[in-house]
Amino acid sequence: MKNQRFDALNIMHSRKPVAVSEVASKKSEIFGKDVFTLAQMKRYLSKSVYESVVEAIEHGRRIDRSIADQVAEGMKVWAMERGATHYTHWFQPLNDSTAEKHDAFLNPDLDGESFEYFSGNLLSQQEPDASSFPSGGLRNTFEARGYSAWDPSSPAFIIDGTLCIPSIFVSYTGEALDFKTPLLKSMAALDKAAVDVCQLFDKDVTKVFPTLGWEQEYFLVDEALYNARPDLIQTGRTLMGHTAAKDQQLEDHYWGAIPQRVEAFMKDFEDAAYRLGIPVKTRHNEVAPNQFECAPQFEEVNIAVDHNLLLMSVMRNIATKHHLKVLFHEKPFAGINGSGKHCNWSMATDNGQNLLAPGRTPKSNIQFLAFFVCTLKAASDYGSLIMASIASETNSHRLGGNEAPPAIMSVFTGATLNRMLDSIEARINDKKLTPDEKTEIKLDIGKIPEILLDNTDRNRTSPFAFTGNRFEFRATGSSCNCSMPMIVLNTAVAEELTQFNESVAELVEKGVKKDEAILQVIRQFIIASKNIRFEGNGYSEEWIAEASKRGLRSANNVTEAFKEYLRPESVALFKKFKVLNEVELNARYEIKNETFLKKVQIESRIAADMAANHIIPTAIRYQNVLIENIKGINEVFPSQLEALAKDEIETLKEIISHVNAIRSASAVMVETRHKLNRNPDIPERAKGYEKDVRAKMSEMREHIDALEMIIDDELWPLPKYRELLATL
């Protein structure tokens, strides 16, 4: 009988690296070629129109429709010169993906003639059908209207002959149906709050924007092997498969030599990224076999998010040219490291300061400490919400295991900086400081750069670690849109900065000098956020117990984590800064639960199908082989059957036992699904899927993986881990 697995292996072994496309030797020559950058705007727009667009980008001002018409004309001419024939609003619905509807520039008239047309109205706003996007009850099923609107702060780009215009996406009644809208609002909130605090130190600062440097991890598998695995095709992960004898235990893959075929793929997608203005800087092997990582330079958060989603799409397309498949699932293979998307977050000013980078003077370092402790307090006050922002069905396979990160929020600062915070707490009090005390404290604060340079290490078990000039949030999943953690982090820090500024103002009103008031509020924030600081092993049982004593909640239970969106503190936070209203938060809670249960439902269906149509028939086929062998032994040695065929008989019994267990678990799983599906309460249904359906899937997998080690290798129908994770 034909075995698709061996056909796939033969195809894989016949692969040769695809030649890398001819490109400019200097990557700077192609960087941003397919992006409508400010430099391109200067060429294609009048000076006044260009200045209006820059004003809109820098200050969030509306662009007048007459200006939009001129921008649209310039953008159309630029795009058509580069071969574009269509345009689309490119937006981010609430499904961790992107959406686009292409329309042609070509516009026939009644005389049978045609011309290319693109107006300011088409640039500024379009009306895509919103009926099939996740809405969480924000629209009725019979109401399809939704609006996409141009986001001038993220530049348009061309990909595959289509002009793509980054846009927001809102409902007919104005609620956000996307990630970008609340992200932009959170950035505006952070900007205002951060500028107010900066004004305490530097009157020249008029704008602050959050920055993001993401690190994208991913797996690669051969296309033929991928196509022979229904679970990979349908869910992005393997629902069954025994661990390979050798995987990552020798630690020989991490930062090893990049395989030739993989490097060819990397070079191609990097060149495509450069043309789109994505500043990809780093590439390397990751911990697990066939796992890799790429990372760009830091960018303003909104653009960084757009670039991450765009690069993921580019990588998928380029991979097919190399007969590869990219797996962005957080845990495609059991027993080895999963993939994350580390989000390195900081704040920058319009005069070039990184607000989380220490300076060389006491004044600059007091400013650094102000922003640093506000971020610590944000993690302390809203840590569970920050962790909930990355909770998902796919990421739940990764959280809480012995890989980054744990499911409990904590912040690593480094032992020396931690001691300094303790020292500030002990030495500054509410009494008036003497000149000597002020001098001594400021001298110590002035040593911060040297302290960090020499003593700040990285704690890979911390989900939120300070790494010298930024915070690294390690919990984000590799397939996730990193907007949501950025939305929460921006808004939470905006709240703490607002509280910081108000507290300083209150002390000053009481007659406390400004610099002394700042130091006292820094001390208050250090005390208030002390519970979130942890320098030890985030995986240890001791930390779990300690975290509970500190009142820190775990995000290990995904459906419970979703409830953080609806906590009064969360609702009040988002409403205060007009980032998300209560209706929008309820919608996201509903969508999170519905997406979770749908993904588990799909996995459950695929697992049952593979068990019934791949695994059990193979097991029965091998049973028949054993039965025939036992019959043959009995015919030749009838009196010695029990002794000579003992192993075959035991193996036969073992296979029958596993098959019966698989059938039983599958039947219960299907019945459990049917029962849960009758429950109209989506969060309760999701909770049942997490608790009961997943348990039966795990039970099935245990028996299937056992069969894989028993049944004749030539009969096993699915590519095994040792093959999927073989060097490409």
How far apart, in Å, are the Cα atoms of 715 and each of 2, 549, 625, 659? Answer: 10, 53, 11, 16
Contacts of 29 (CB under 8 A, 6+ apart): none
Across the chain, how many H-helices and E-strands are there? Answer: 26, 17
Q: Say yes or no to pLDDT of 554 above 80.
A: no
Which pLDDT belongs to residue 453? 59
What amino acid occupies position 137? G
Question: What are the angstrom distances between the C-alpha of 524 and each of 314, 425, 446, 493, 585?
Answer: 47, 8, 20, 16, 31
Q: Could you read off the pLDDT of 117-156 as tens digits, one per residue? A: 999 999 998 877 666 787 877 766 555 568 899 999 999 9
Q: What percent of the chain has pLDDT over 70?
A: 92
Q: What angle do CA 649, 654, 655 make, to 5 degrees?
A: 100
pLDDT band at 174 (very low <50, low <70, confident <90, very high): confident
Tens digit of each residue's pLDDT (9 = 90 or more) over 404-456: 567 789 999 887 788 889 888 887 776 676 676 666 666 677 767 766 655 55
* Cβ neighbourhood burial of 537 (10 Å; 0-12, 13-18, 19+): middle
d(CA 502, CA 504): 5
Q: What is the pLDDT of residue 4?
A: 82
Average pLDDT estimate for 60-80: 90
Check residue 22 and give its pLDDT. Answer: 57
Q: 114 CB contacts (<8 Å, ≥6 apart)?
A: 106, 107, 108
pLDDT in tens, 274-320: 999 999 999 999 999 999 999 999 999 999 999 999 999 999 999 99
565-581 confidence digits (pLDDT tens)? 999 999 999 999 999 99
Each residue of 519-552: pLDDT tens digit?
Answer: 999 999 999 999 999 988 887 888 888 888 898 8
DSSP states of 131-182 = TTS--TTSS-TT--BEEEEE-TTS--EEETTEEEEEEEEEETTS-B-BSHHH
**pLDDT, average across residues 7-17:** 79
pLDDT tens profile 178-201: 999 999 999 999 999 999 999 999
Q: What is the mean pLDDT of the chain?
A: 91
- pLDDT value of residue 430: 65
* Per-residue pLDDT, 419: 85
Q: Model confidence over 464-513: pLDDT tens digits?
A: 999 889 999 999 999 999 999 999 999 999 999 999 999 999 999 999 99
pLDDT in tens, 634-686: 889 988 888 888 999 999 999 999 999 999 999 999 999 999 999 999 999 99
- φ and ψ at residue 368, rounded to 5 degrees: -55, -45
| pLDDT tens by residue, 497-509 | 999 999 999 999 9
Lowest average pLDDT, out of 110-119, 268-277, 379-388, goes to 110-119
pLDDT of 727 strictly over 90: no
| Residue 415: per-residue pLDDT | 79
Tell me what pLDDT residue 98 has: 94
233-249 confidence digits (pLDDT tens): 999 999 999 999 899 88
pTM of the model: 0.94
Region of residue 619 (phi > 0: left; psi between -120 and 50: alpha; otherwise: beta)? alpha
